[in-house]
């Protein structure tokens, strides 16, 4: 399995002066993505839209300090889509396809591959008792009818864990034991953090969702070398898989900061 990050440089028409991030919604972001995919391959776009499983991609808008949309980060979480996503957005660049996101229109200017990682590479991660993540976009976790904007370890690592096993497929050497999540809930805690809450608009006619952003360090109280190796591997994988809910609508984007390997 391969995970790949793409960066799409965006540009507004000269008369617009920029793409105002305040007018953008998570639902509009996902709709724009499907529109680009549909122009490239309608059948593929339809299958992505209705697969009923966790999306094999994440989308994150990247803004300037003034709040203007500058780039779009797309992460492919399956080797099956690695070349397809890049080709679809490169086609949008070459055709000068008009992108529609809410009331604003703009174009994709350039597509580049930022990072690529193989699951087998992450599986060789050394044991780490402490790992750090930087939550770049608002992050929250489903809890019944509500969401919780708190970085509890078992919530943070749940999505990376399930996506890892889903993508590992029938490769038994890469499958993670189901008992790991129970261990994570029991033995991994917040070590330190510097976070704040932040709103994100998913639907224009609904109240904004509340998430958190900032840096969080997690520490395992105890654990075997295998459990601590998985903790390190999933912390690295989280930078591709995203964390929490609405990761295809701009939420839950993280960067791996570091790991401390002392046992």
Q: Return the CATH number at 82.
A: 3.30.70.1890
Residue 190 burial class via C-beta count within 10 angstroms: exposed 0-12, middle 13-18, buried 19 and up = middle
**Helix or strand run (H / E) with residue 208:** none
3-state SS class at 210: strand
Q: Domain count of the chain?
A: 2
CATH assignment at residue 137? 3.30.70.1900
Residue entry with tokens 């994570």: 184
Q: pLDDT grade, residue 262 (50/70/90)?
A: low
Residues 144 and 247 in one domain: yes
Does 114 lie in the same domain as 129?
no
The tens digit of pLDDT for each residue in 117-130 reads 999 999 999 999 99
- Domain hosting residue 244, numbered range: 123-260
Judged by DSSP in three states, 31 sits in: helix
Q: Residue 76 in 3-state DSSP?
A: strand
Q: 4-52, pLDDT tens digit by residue?
A: 999 999 998 877 778 888 888 999 999 999 999 999 999 888 888 766 5
Same domain, 189 and 143: yes
Are residue 129 and residue 96 in the same domain, yes or no? no
Tokens 């889509």 -> residue: 81
């Amino acid at each position: 399995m391969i995970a790949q990050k793409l960066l799409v440089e965006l540009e507004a028409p000269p008369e617009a002066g920029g793409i105002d991030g305040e007018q953008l919604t998570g639902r509009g972001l996902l709709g724009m993505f499907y529109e680009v995919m549909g122009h490239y391959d309608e059948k593929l776009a339809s299958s992505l839209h209705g697969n009923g499983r966790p999306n094999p991609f994440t989308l994150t808008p990247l803004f300037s300090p003034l709040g203007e949309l500058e780039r779009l980060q797309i992460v492919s979480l399956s080797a099956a889509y690695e070349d397809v996503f890049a080709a679809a957005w490169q086609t949008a660049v070459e055709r000068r396809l008009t992108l529609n996101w809410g009331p604003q229109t703009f174009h994709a200017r350039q597509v580049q591959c930022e990072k690529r990682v193989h699951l087998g590479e992450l599986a060789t991660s050394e044991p780490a008792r402490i790992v750090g993540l930087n939550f770049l976009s608002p992050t929250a976790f489903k809890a019944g009818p509500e969401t919780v904007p708190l970085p509890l370890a078992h919530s943070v690592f749940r999505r990376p864990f399930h996506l890892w096993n889903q993508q590992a497929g029938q490769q038994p050497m890469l499958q993670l034991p189901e008992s790991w999540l129970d261990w994570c809930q029991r033995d991994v805690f917040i070590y330190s953090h510097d976070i704040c809450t932040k709103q994100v608009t998913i639907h224009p006619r609904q109240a904004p969702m509340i998430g958190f952003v900032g840096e969080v360090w997690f520490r395992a109280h105890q654990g075997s070398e295998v459990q601590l190796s998985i903790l390190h591997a999933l912390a690295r994988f989280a930078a591709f898989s995203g964390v929490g809910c609405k990761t295809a609508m701009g939420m839950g984007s993280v960067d791996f900061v570091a790991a401390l390997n002392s046992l």
